[in-house]
Amino acid sequence: MHIHILGICGTFMGGIAALAKQAGHRVTGCDANVYPPMSTQLEAQGIELIEGFGAEQINLKPDMFVIGNVVSRGNPLMEEILNRNLPYTSGPQWLAQTILHDKWVLGVAGTHGKTSTSAMLAWILEYAQLTPGFLIGGVPENFGISARLTDSPFFVIEADEYDTAFFDKRSKFVHYHPRTAILNNLEFDHADIFADLAAIETQFHHLVRTVPGNGLIVCNGREKSLRRVLQRGCWTPTEKFGNNEGWNIDANDRVTLNGEAQGTLAWDLLGEHNRMNALAALAAARHAGVPVAQGLAALSEFKNVKRRMEVRGVVNGITVYDDFAHHPTAIDTTLGGLRHKIGKARILAVLEPRSNTMKLGVMKDALPGSLKDADLVFCYGGNLGWDARGALAPLGNKALVEDDLGALIEKIAAAAQPGDHVLVMSNGGFGGIHEKLLKQLA
């Protein structure tokens, strides 16, 4: 089968392309911005890439056009597909029908921690020699790739609540039909497509409705929003974590299940959020047949995902980190984890409000509180539709906003001192700030 993917350079659609190629299909694709690293990854797999969405691409005559959710009406290639009544489908639908239909799917959903938890779960299954397939929205260091197809019945997928395509406004995760579903947490996000938290809870309940009675839902017991989701109806056994019932972990990293000791989590990851992610992954892996002791042994060798508290360099005693945090809760937990590790050393938080929700300014009032563990805050204010200086005013003179990236880097470098920890947080490339900052510091 020949498939042509529109929007192929996104993390998710690029993962689908890799899986399709591994499954033996001919894969071509196009995107508005075809550039490394995704372009080189795809080309290395023998996938032909085309810059732009020219209507002439219909002459490739694929068996199916697979449409990413970056594509909207008015896209010239999409308009030609519609006018000629050519076969098309969404990425999640193609994935469900072609790859996942005969798999034991382990889906990881939640506002935060999907990528890290998916990586943990895939690694536990790999450590237990179950060789799972996976599609993860980042690159797990233990694997070095974001998507893999195997002969194993097990497939781990990051189950995203963002919408499927311009012609299918359901969340992606309703297509996956997981037998094991992790509900990690649930807060308001994606203000560009969801009106409020209740709208997202409805999508999560659609996911719950697809989990079979012989499956398992692993649910964060601390979240009122998830309790509301399950109260709307649940037909699947449920295991809770983090709230003194089911799975728990104490201050000494000792894991218990229903009050019975299971072993100790021994690793280098920071933060309470990662401890919760670990409990969820252990519970899901146990449902797939991995003993908890083996799961804990696997996590002792877990290397996390790129862009999750990743040290990008140390110059003159100043450590520069890269982290994906882009929601106030994630910013808060990431800073809290770093503070716990380094004690009283200074933290310089560097923030790019880049997600659609952040660009809309929906979360701006929560930003000062989320940055409380930082000693200095540097915010990139370029391309925002709201006043970052006003939003961060409660932090007083410990916060600085610059609309020019070069000027921001100069201010950070001027303020940094030996022993400082510079935590850069963005869900994008942030203009290559890490390398530029390290060069400036040198």
| CATH number of 249's domain | 3.40.1190.10
Is the preceding omega at residue 62 within 30 degrees of 0, hence cis? no
Alpha carbons 329 and 234: distance in angstroms, whole number = 27
Residues in the chain: 442
Q: How many CA atoms lie within 13 A of 410 on its CB side?
A: 6
What pLDDT shows up at residue 359? Answer: 67
CB 357 within 8 Å of CB 191: yes
Strands (E), 102-159: 104-109, 133-135, 147-148, 154-158
Q: Would you place residue 429 in the very low, low, confident or very high pLDDT band (cuts 50, 70, 90)?
A: confident
Nearest to 381 by CA among 350, 412, 410, 342: 350
Range of the domain at 177: 102-299
| Residues 293 and 328 reside in one and the same domain | no
Average pLDDT, rounded, for the chain: 91
| Residues 353 and 427 reside in one and the same domain | yes
Strands (E), 270-325: 310-315, 318-323
Residue 19, domain CATH: 3.40.50.720
Chosen domain end from 266, 299, 332: 299
Mean pLDDT for 41-59 is 93
Q: Would you place residue 430 in the very low, low, confident or very high pLDDT band (cuts 50, 70, 90)?
A: confident
Q: Tell me the DSSP string of 248-261.
A: EE-TT-EEEETTEE
Tens of pLDDT, residue by residue over 73-118, are 999 999 999 999 999 999 999 999 999 999 999 999 998 889 999 9
| Residues 269 and 199 reside in one and the same domain | yes
| Residues 393 and 330 reside in one and the same domain | yes
| Residues 161 and 187 reside in one and the same domain | yes
Mean pLDDT for 307-323 is 87
Mean pLDDT for 256-265 is 95
Whether residue 97 is contained in a domain is answered as no
Chosen domain end from 91, 126, 141: 91
Residue 356, domain CATH: 3.90.190.20
Q: How many domains does the chain have?
A: 3
Select the more confidently predicted residue: 77 or 200. Answer: 77
Chosen domain end from 91, 116, 134: 91
Mean pLDDT for 47-57 is 95
| Buried/exposed code over 395-428 (b: 16+ C-beta within 10 A; e: otherwise) | beeebbbbeebeebbebbbeebeeebbbbbbbbe
Cα-based distances in Å from 253 to 18, 218, 248 = 37, 20, 9
Q: Please give the single-letter amino acid code of residue 174.
A: V
Tens of pLDDT, residue by residue over 137-162, are 878 889 988 899 999 999 999 998 88
Look at residue 59 and give its three-state secondary structure: helix
Tens of pLDDT, residue by residue over 364-420, are 888 899 899 999 999 998 877 788 888 899 999 999 999 999 999 999 999 999 999
Mean pLDDT for 203-210 is 96
